[in-house]
Amino acid sequence: METPIFIVGAPRSGTTLLRNMLNRHPAIAICRETDFQRLVYARRRAFGNIGDLQNRQRLVREYLGTPRVQRLRLNLPELEKTLLREGTSYEGLFAALLRFYAQAHGKRRCGEKTPRHALFTETLCQWYPGARIIHLLRDPRDVVASLLRMPWADRNVVGNARLWLRSNLAAGRSRHRPQYLMVRYEELVTSPEQEVSRVCGFVGEEFCAAMLVSDRDPRGEQPWYRRAEERVTTERIGKWREQLTSKEAALVEWFVGRHMQTFGYEAATHAPGGLAIAQDMGSTVFQAARRHAGEFPAAWYSFVRSRQLAKEEMAKERFRSRQLTRAAISEEHS
């Protein structure tokens, strides 16, 4: 297999934008989010050794029954045959899925984009020694401001700042490896040709001008996916100044702390007061509890590392659908 390409980073950091750019290359097919680590590899004790055909059949049947795999628009019966034949280990199963996706799109290079795989990069590097890890980094205040506007994300500042910090620190653990590259969102949208050329050189492919031409897919399901298919723009750099209150911006900078400067971003506010910190920390706990309650039984399946992947994902889909409906109603009345 040619070296796979993995795009990781905190959610709302431009990972979908870069995926779309790379997918316009004639040789590259980057699979959309598979959440392989959380749904499959984290359940390896539950499913057991998939070198055993019976275990492998159980896992493949469950995984292919999830909405996220069905949204890949692949020939599922053929994919099932391929995974049963080639997926005799967890790394083999993942590689077979990515190869199948690339072949279905007539491409020779495969890859995948799941932001949360930022927590999984060292394992990916061990599984696939020639793999390329592309770490997307964006200003934490812009990420938090964007997350607060997403119907599927938490509604508190500290929880989203924590997600940014955890994702980027985890991805950064692979920075000592030659197969790691960090790309800043701000530089990607300011100098797209230069940055995409740099990415192409890193993955060993020639830059193609078509990679910068937007090709909006009318079948895109949600606004945040469709926006990533539009022309590249710098309009969203520094949006946090409009979308966050001074207290919210201060909370982000307080929580990220010294890591903000380490990652190249300068603080612009004063430290928040103790009351503001206590209020948002309380909101973080409350939001997490409410989300788990709303996602039940999906949260339970996830907690016990259940083998019932399809039921878990479908429960999550129902919860997300309710969130989207509420957001749409709220927007209509605002």
Determine which of 197-201, 205-209, 236-240, 312-316 has the lowest per-residue pLDDT on average.
Answer: 312-316
> What is the C-alpha R_g of the chain?
20
pLDDT band at 314 (very low <50, low <70, confident <90, very high): confident
Kindly report each contact of residues 220-224 with a partner whose C-beta sits within 8 Å and lies 24 or more positions away, as own/partner: 221/71, 222/324, 224/12, 224/16, 224/150
- Determine what percent of the chain is predicted with pLDDT higher than 70: 81
The CA dihedral of 23, 25, 27, 29, to the nearest 10 degrees, is 0
Write down the domain spans for the chain.
5-333
pLDDT, greater one: 271 or 325: 271
Q: String of b and e for 221-251 (b: at least 16 CB within 10 Å)? A: eeebeeebeeebeeebeeebeebbeebbbbb
Average pLDDT for residues 158-175, to the nearest whole number?
Answer: 95
Its sign, for the CA torsion 35, 289, 146, 321, is positive
pLDDT (0 to 100) of residue 323 = 60
Cis peptide before 4 (omega within 30 of 0): no
Average pLDDT for residues 285-293, to the nearest whole number?
Answer: 60
Model confidence at 74: pLDDT above 90: yes
H or E segment and range at residue 195: helix 192-203
pLDDT, one tens digit per residue, over 217-260 is 555 555 545 565 677 899 999 999 999 999 999 999 999 999 99
pLDDT (0 to 100) of residue 230 = 75
Model confidence at 164: pLDDT above 80: yes
Model confidence at 79: pLDDT above 70: yes
pLDDT, one tens digit per residue, over 111-129 is 999 999 999 999 999 999 9
According to the CATH classification, is domain 5-333 in 3.40.50.11890? no
pLDDT band at 289 (very low <50, low <70, confident <90, very high): low
What 8-state DSSP symbol labels residue 232?
Answer: -
Give DSSP secondary structure letters for 66-81: SHHHHTT---HHHHHH
